[in-house]
Amino acid sequence: METIGHADVVVAGGGLAGCCAALEAAEHGARVLLLEKCAGLGGTSRISGGAIAFAGTELQQRQQITDSPSRLLEDLRRCAGGQADEKLLAAFVAEQAQTFNWLQHQGVRFSSVQLGSGQSLPRSNRVDAAQMIDALAVNINRHPMIRVMTSCAIRELHEDGVVVDDDGRNGLIKTSAVVLCSGGFSRNEELIRRHAPALARAQRAGASSCTGDGLTIAEARGAALLDMEKLSSTFGRHPAASPDENGLLHPIYKGAVAVNVHGLRFADESQSYKVLGDACLQQPQALVFQIFDHRVMQQSVSDAATSNFAAALADGRVIAADDLDSLALRAGIDAARLRGTINRYNQHAAAGHDPDFGRSSLANGNGTLQPVAQPPYYAYPCTSAILGTYCGLATDTAGRVLDTAGNPVAGLYAAGEITGGFHGNGYMTGSALAKAAVFGRIAGRHAALESAKAPA
């Protein structure tokens, strides 16, 4: 095998986790090679909704939101249903505040804080995802210790490094430490059929690069997989959204109700959009409508993709009407049943509790129910998609990949969507990007330290 390069640390994947890993490794003195199989950096991170769950931030303080690491840990535990690795959660919470400051120092601009699924108070620190990646990319390209190779995919882990396909040319890059940040497998039909056959009706989404390459390569080296059986879909994606766009909208967390084509509710809308995702797939045509009114539309947030209701109305993805019957006609919903459903829900909202499905808040105990009663009315048609896979390689708190016996695989690290063990049975909004940033830095740092100990 021809040797085509050398590096102290090779980072495979140029999304948020990979960018953070590369910068952190370089800041600890390692010569870093960042590989990205697409033409540019970003991956699924670039098309994400831009919610990052950090606690105790200055943005929260400005909005008089009193948050804390302990409360963040409590929410993560609850969302995971006791199925997450406690050591990973503790490591994340210990570093998340410093990572928020580090990202700001890198030029990432945080704009506002919004309430998200699974959060006991608003904790989604919002960014423009493209701006975030571009800011990190500027620093990566300026750093004298980092070299970037795009259109270059990792193909195999070799005893002396990694085998790559550099735009059709196979070669060996020698290294003592590899950090896999190659994302999930939302665009790999074989892996989805293998691990989540029940999600056949879900749309496929995420970056085209999310084909599970790093996962299968590490598994071939004996790496253990975690949480594969917990793979679920994400609720709220417009049926016409293209595979490489986020396409999510969640007026439910501002007070909307969700109904199927028959105009009937089917779940407690305050639940995680991962739970709602699978419930949506059980509905006729796997199609659901989030029904809301003028009061919710007024809460549209321009810099929060999943709460930008006004933009979705402007581009035709949200349907509007002056009354519920007209709305039902335009949306193709059973009008009589929709009217009855909304009337019944409004009565329950006025009483503060929904006995039909147990909804008593807007999201995870936060916010009080409000009637859907102020015209004009709106309907957002949506379905569920496999947008992120939230499962994968077993890792320890240093980001080291573990084998099936629980031992570290020599020289191999991982961070971001490729890893499992963190989300458990559920998902808190913003925890995927936050996990990518925090553990990307942790894995990059420890990979650099390991490379420094390797024989010259």
Structure tokens at 89: 């959660």
Reported as a pLDDT band with limits 50, 70 and 90, residue 355 is: very high
DSSP H or E stretch at residue 410: strand 408-414
Q: Tell me phi and psi for residue 84, to 5 degrees.
A: -90, 160
pLDDT of 456 above 70:
no
Residues 434 and 345 in one domain: no
Average pLDDT, the chain: 95
User: Residue 454: which pLDDT band, with cuts at 50, 70 and 90?
Assistant: confident
Peptide bond into 376 cis (omega under 30): yes
pLDDT band at 272 (very low <50, low <70, confident <90, very high): confident
pLDDT in tens, 366-419: 889 999 999 999 999 999 999 888 899 999 999 999 999 999 999 999 999 999
* Residue 394 to residue 180: CA distance in whole angstroms: 12
Same-domain pairing of 417 and 378: no
Tokens coding 77: 């535990």
Residues 313 and 352 reside in one and the same domain: yes
Domain boundary among 386, 416, 432: 386
Interhelix angle 86-105/69-80, rounded to 10 degrees, is 130
Pairwise CA distance, residues 83 & 89, whole Å: 11
Residue 277's CATH number? 3.90.700.10
> Where residue 75 falls among pLDDT bands split at 50, 70, 90?
very high
Please indicate, yes or no, whether residues 13 and 161 belong to a single structural domain of this protein: yes
Query: In this structure, are 288 and 376 located in the same domain?
Result: yes
For residue 54, report the phi and psi dihedrals to the nearest 5 degrees: -125, 150
pLDDT in tens, 6-43: 999 999 999 999 999 999 999 999 999 999 999 999 99
C-alpha 414/C-alpha 402 separation (Å) is: 10
Query: Where in the sequence is the domain holding 170, given as residue range(s)?
Result: 3-231+387-453
Give per-residue pLDDT as tens, 256-270: 999 999 999 999 999
Same domain, 179 and 284: no
Residues 171 and 74 in one domain: yes
Q: Which of 78-92, 170-184, 442-456 has the lowest mean pLDDT?
A: 442-456
Across residues 50-55, what is the average pLDDT? 96
Quick one: how far is CA 150 from the chain centroid?
23
| Calpha distance 198→189 (Å, rounded) | 13
What pLDDT, on a 0 to 100 scale, did the predictor assign at position 1?
A: 76
Q: What percentage of the chain exceeds 70 in pLDDT?
A: 100
End-to-end CA distance of the chain: 21
Average pLDDT of the residues in 250-258: 96
287, 264 in Cβ contact below 8 A? no
Length of the chain: 456
Using alpha carbons, select from 280, 259, 266, 384 the residue that is nearest to residue 334.
259
> Do 393 and 325 fall within a single domain?
no
Looking at the structure, do residues 55 and 28 belong to the same domain, yes or no?
Answer: yes
Find the CATH number of the domain harbouring 206.
Answer: 3.50.50.60
Whether 45 and 125 map to the same domain: the answer is: yes
The count of structural domains within the chain is 2
